[in-house]
Structure 1
Amino acid sequence: MHDASLMPLLTALVAAVAIAAAAYAIMYPYISADRVKDKRVASVSETRTRKITAVSAAEVAANRKKQVADSLKDMENRKKTREKVSLRLRIERAGLDIEPRTYWIASAVCAVVSAALAKAFIPASAGGLAPLLLIVALFVGGFGVPRFALSKLTGRRQKKFAAELANAIDVIVRGIKSGLPLNECLAMIAKESPEPVASEFREVVEEQRVGMPLSEALDRLTRRIPLAEVKFLAIVVAIQQQSGGNLAEALSNLSSVLRDRFKMAAKVKALSAEAKASAMILGALPPGVMLMVQVSSPEYIAPLLTTRTGNIFIAVGLVWMGIGIMVMRKMINFKF
């Protein structure tokens, strides 16, 4: 009877102990020192992992910057060693398929023709000034006119190349995105692009076929076409070959930059057209007036050609005209 009355109490006590044990088992990981230790260890490990990852990323970025700097320095050193431009290279830049000997023959013929024209137009009243004018005509015809013509041909060819280079880079970008190798893209440009882009990239492809590295072939291209746009292309390809990266994205950005530069050049040309026309008129006015006076009234201008004082005035006038032309050229020659 007494035992029966204690059974509910024992049952409640056992149930309370069981519930307390279960609660302690559940809460033990959260209140024990091991849990705090595990949290600290995990925090330290995570922080260390983050530090290692950050250091690795910084090392990768530093190595990439170092490779880019080394590439630029190497290209600059090669440019300094090849600074001297030979006559054959100037002829290649002009797009002429002739030998230097042919150029010198043409220069001699031009000098003789210039001297003959000067002798025909120099008046008899020039006196002692006539031999000096003949020497000047020989010098201008033999050295000035051929170099001027070569420079004009080179500038015209480089402008055509720069105008089509962005389209050629777009062809490379589309070819790379479609899965073609870079060599095939260059061969496609050599076949389908207009001149002079096709002939220059054809030279690059031929140099690669004989075993020349692409970076060196593009470096030779920068010597034949010394434009900033071509140097940008060579630098981008050289850096991509050494340090890797998305070549299509880099060339796409380069194409956008080249188009913006071309638009800026066209805008500058339009804004400076009036100033250039004024400079040309001012530069041509004094010799033009002198020629008209010589034709209409030769006796009026004869003292300038026959007397020593007149010759001094002509020399001083030529010096001042040269200074004025250089100043006007500096004022209208915009760098961008």
Structure 2
Amino acid sequence: MSGFEDLLTPEVTGIAVAVLVMLAVGGIIYSLFQPALSGTKRRDQRVQAVAARPQSETQRKQLRDTDRRKKNIQEQLKEFEERQRAKQDKQQKVSLKTRMEQAGLAWEMSHFIMFSAVSGVVFLILGFIASSNFLVIGGFGFAGAFGFPRWYVSFKRKRRFNAFLDELPNGVDIIVRGVKAGLPLADCIKVVAREAREPVATEFRKITETQIMGVTLSEAVSKLPDRVPVAEANFFAIVVAIQQKAGGGLAEALSNLSKVLRGRKAMKGKIKALSAEAKSSAGIIGALPFVVGGIMFVVAPDYISLLWTTSTGHLIMGGCLFWMFIGIMIMRSMINFDF
């Protein structure tokens, strides 16, 4: 025993422990990767795939048709994404004439110039009434000639887009009912052009007029987001184009689209209701300095008149208006939600 104990030196014991650990790790690795190395796992997967494969020719044909339709839809979506990026690049540089068309104004550039001139004259008169300072009068004239007309076009454009979004789900529902009744899509669009409210009726009437000129229905519908650049119009154009090229149930697709449009409308209303308190607070805070200034002008005109009769008052008013503008823009960015 003493000879055996002499062999169990610390070096031999360490080597033996290392060998045992290596054998244990090797056994664990072999047990984990043995199915993959031997091909058993690959064989089981192949057997499961063959078992899950449709056995009848009809099932295989339906599967091939489904795969083909999925590929077509993926290609269409990729094409629409590229087209949408190009449209977004164009929309960043929308011309004034296009903005007037989107606002529903049947104006030429000459009409806009005349409107700007009249607006500039009116604002100049208001400037003469408000102050005798030529800088103030010039500021009024500049705002009337260059600012107010463009603001008016943007206001009309936004209001028309909101009216379009309110009526579009009803128009889509009309198309769904017509398609379920057996009417062609083109006839359903004509019905919407006759029965829907403005501006949906006008936009769908343009689709039918474009189609009469020889343009295909999908191409005529694809021009709708150009005239009304909102996400909902783009959704409608995508659904119609995919159905025209890839097939499928149009009534079901448009019914789902109608649910999506109404869901977005409900979400917009909910966001508007939740942000109403913040907007009211911002309006009160923004109007408070002017209300207090008006009250002070009525109560103590000599005291408040120092703001516009002295150079120091002008600097104070300029600084206050600048910081008020910064605060209003910050509050506006906080209460405006994009979804």
Task: Tell me the secondary structure at the aligned position of residue 257 of structure 2.
Answer: helix
How much does 1:81 deviate? 4.3
CA RMSD of aligned residues (A): 2.6
Higher relative contact order, chain-length normalized (CA < 8 Å, sep 6+): 1
SS in 2 for 1:300: helix
Is residue 142 of structure 1 aligned with residue 145 of structure 2? yes
Is the Cα contact below 8 Å between 1:240 and 1:247 reproduced in 2?
yes
- Residues 248, 137 of structure 1: alpha-carbon distance in 2 compared, 3 angstrom cutoff: same
Per-residue CA deviations over 1:155-208 (Å, capped at 9, x if unaligned) read: 222211111111100111111122211111111100111111111111111011
| TM superposition outliers: structure 1 runs of 4+ over 4 Å | 51-60
1:213 maps to: 216
Q: Provide the rounded CA distance (Å) in 1 between the counterparts of 2:259 and 2:140.
A: 48
Decide whether the 8 Å contact of 1:71 with 1:238 is kept in 2: no
Q: Is the 8 A contact 1:111 1:142 kept in 2?
A: yes
**CA distance in structure 2 between the partners assigned to 1:74 and 1:228 by the alignment:** 13
Residue 99 of structure 1 is aligned with which of 100, 104, 108? 108
Identity of aligned residues (%): 46
Q: Which of residues 83, 89, 103 in structure 1 aligns to 2:98?
A: 89
| Higher Rg | 1
1:66 maps to a residue whose letter is E
**How many aligned positions are there?**
287
Is structure 2 residue 145 aligned with structure 1 residue 153? no
Distance between the aligned counterparts of 2:304 and 2:180, measured in 1?
72
Task: Provide the residue aligned with 1:188 in structure 2.
Answer: 191
**Worse overlay, 208-217 or 63-72:** 63-72
Q: Compare 233-242 and 147-156 and name the one that shifted more.
A: 147-156
Partner letter of residue 142 of structure 2?
A: F
**Counterparts of 2:281 and 2:323, CA distance in 1:** 18
Q: With the length of structure 2 as denominator, give the TM-score of the two structures.
A: 0.77
* Aligned equivalent of 1:227: 230
Match of 2:106, SS state, is: coil
Gaps of 5+ in 1: 1-42, 125-129
**1:305 matched residue in structure 2:** 308
Deviation at 1:59, TM superposition (A): 5.9
Residue in 2 aligned with 1:111?
Answer: 120
TM-score norm. by structure 1 comes to: 0.77
- Equivalent position to 2:334, from 327, 331, 335: 331
Conserved 8 A contact 1:93-1:224: yes
Q: Deviations over 1:184-237 (max 9, x none)?
A: 111110011111111111111101111123333223321221211111101111
Give the whole-Å Cα distance in 2 for the aligned partners of 1:242 and 1:107.
47
Which residue is equivalent to 2:320?
A: 317
Superposition pairs of residues 12-31 of structure 1, within 5 angstroms = none
Written as runs of structure 1 = structure 2, the 5 A alignment for 1:251-330 is: 251-330=254-333
Correspondence for 1:236 = 239
Alpha-carbon separation, structure 1, partners of 2:268 and 2:192: 25
